[in-house]
Structure 1
Amino acid sequence: MKDINLTLAAVGGLILIVGLLSRPIDRSWLSSPLLAFLLGVMLSPYGFALLDPAQWGDPLHLLEETARLTLGISLMGIALRLPARYPLQHWRPLAVLLVIGMPAMCLISSLFSAWTLGLPLVMALLVGASICPTDPVIASSIVTGGVAKDNLPAGFRHLLSAESGANDGLAYPLVLLPVLLMAHPPATAWLEWIVKTWLWEVLGSVLIGALIGWISGRALEWADRKGWLDQPSFLALSLALTILVLGVGKLLGTDSVLAVFAAGIAFDQEVGGQERGEADNVQEAVNLFFTLPVFVLFGLIAPWEKWQALGWGGVLLALLILLLRRLPVVLALRRWLPPVSSRGLSWMMGWFGPIGVSALFYATLASGRTGSDTPWAVVSLVVLASIIAHGVTAAPFAKRYGAKRDGARHSRE
């Protein structure tokens, strides 16, 4: 009972402080995820030893389920934050990033993992697949807030949000392929990957999520016309939809994370005006409550000994991933990405591909299914590097881009 109360007090206090100081934090080199991680480290056995998650059960399974819920909340927030028709009107740049960009990032990350740590090819592919998705949780902290809105164009923010929402779920089959290759003969693994993973777990999740989202949106409009909808139930609807889809998707054996994003997009097509704005606001508020606890938990169970065992190879891998996993790919594809085709925006888009909760989710899932600690040790180290690097640079880089843009505009005038 003491652990529960201490956890509630610590997380509640952190959220309160972040809420009261949201503007200064948004404009500083600190980020909310980094502060939450540091709080977790302070409370952990490596800090003041006030909390020990090992006594609560399997820490990795706890993190996996917490990350899944956090991703669901964040993906619904992204879907509601995007303009209603954005995925339909801008499907071409999204397709380029998902069909070409994401597999390329997976391959680059895998090659670096094999080279720096000497991992077997299949294990390196598993690590690369876990790292490749752009994290929607940290991306939300980069593209929202006053600094981002004042300095970064809407096209950049929308494309990064849409990519992080879609590729988070679409990384699932990339992660499952090496897992299946480790567990089955190649022919069996490839057959199961194509039939079960792609046709049911991926395509099925999109169809199921979109159907639930569409029905929920229609029901919302109908209840509003009937006058049956009061404010509290109205504000809670998007959160309820998130939890519903996560549960149904998991029960049916589909990619429940991708199903949530599909549900959010479909729901967004049916609601509008006040409904859409209210749902967006409550989802962003709830997002704050679920984003910080998962990083506190990450700090509590951070595998310091495993990171130390990786040695300088782990440090080199983290640096290579941050610098070369995404930037060269985006620069090579920028002519097919109209919202970020300019030189400055393409560099921004290439740098801001954070690795966070989605990678933690896939790393814990992969370690659980393979029985190996390697995915968790390697991926979690890269996540820590991303939290620091992207959190520290988000506000300064955005301000720098905004200043250059304003200076160029004034010189033309």
Structure 2
Amino acid sequence: MAESWTAGAQRRAWLSAALLSVALLIAPFLVWLLLPRPVPVMPARRELAPAPLAPAQPEHAAPREVEAEPPPPPPPPPPPRETTAASAGPVRGVVVDPEGRPVAGATVRCSDEPGLSASADAEGRFELPPEADGCTATAAQPPFGDAQPTRVAAGGENVLHLIGTGSIAGEVVDPSGRPVEAYLLAIESFLPVGSGAHAGVNGRARKVSDPSGAFQLDELAPGRYVLTVSAAGRPPARSAPIDVEAGRAARFVRIVLPQGATLRGRVVDAESRAPVVEAQVELDSATSSGANAISLALTDANGDYELQGVPASGPFSVRVRHEQYMAKIVPGLDARGASSLRADIEIRLLGDGGSREELTGIGAMLSLSPSGVTIAGIIEGGPAALAGLAQGDVIVRIDGEPAADLPLADCIQRLRGRAGTRVTVGVDRGGHILDVTMRRDVVVH
């Protein structure tokens, strides 16, 4: 019985193990059947850089080391002017008048190289150095107008044509319109057409005597003119600006000569108060051309003088001279429309210091240049020097009035004045405008 029970138990154990094994094999299959199927997953595309991206870098930070290229050198400056193959030789040519005739003595210069110049010979021919090859040249010879700028070249036939002349015709009358028969006529100022300066044109004075008061000036270079007229007993008067064109006459110019006033006074020694005999009293800087028909006055035994024909209105100056005394300029005189005025003048004996003249103003000497009214000199220790003005400064305004609208003589009179009075001057220095206020003073030099 025991053996039979043991064999039955062994069979039961093997059967249980077999059933358990089958269950373990069937269970995953049943789970697979009962659970929902997952969506098929496509294989991921292979990326070149699966790692997280690094921060962006500037464009110039290249992944490889390179040496920065230096910036290209600046291009060479262009030559100042064109040159020709024959630049080894001089530049030759001829200057001719409007009719094509050679003009002797004309001045030829390169406008872009002012240091290169020459003079035409008796046949109008000129020769510039080789450095002038390719420059822009012009020629000047009064009374003609300047030649038009022309590019010249070595080895070429260079011809510079001067511009033709014009003329001015007109009359001189008194305030009532009656002709003034005898007077002195001069060119007060001249602004040429072009860049040339015509030295010697200003101040071309001549005596005119005509019953109708008529005058005519011929062979005038093209440009803008201002004329000055003066007659005995009448102060100098100026014309309005006159434009002269080549080959044409500017006609119907009328200049009115006003009646003058009389200046009276006495000249005495500044120390002793004794009268100075035979001192000369005359208008000073009434015109820039020097065309002044007003005769000077001499003091008598009492030192008295009488100068006829001074301006009846507006400031003017007189100069007093004597061989034993310093010359003295008395500024700021004004008859204010009256027929006469008085000015007593003290002058000082010449000393050992070398000073020859005494004046009251700013202590600057003026001249007319192509740039305008220019300071030609400064008196040491004068108001202009103390204010910092310098030779070469161009005066652009005086007390607010444009200097370009004033003749040189008027600029001089406005800068002069009584000691202690003020004047404001605007000057152009290298393109910068400076306004300077000065107190006029007595200047001895």
Per the normalisation by structure 2, the TM-score is: 0.17
Choose 1 or 2 for highest CA Rg. Answer: 2
Structure with greater helix percent: 1
Per the normalisation by structure 1, the TM-score is: 0.18
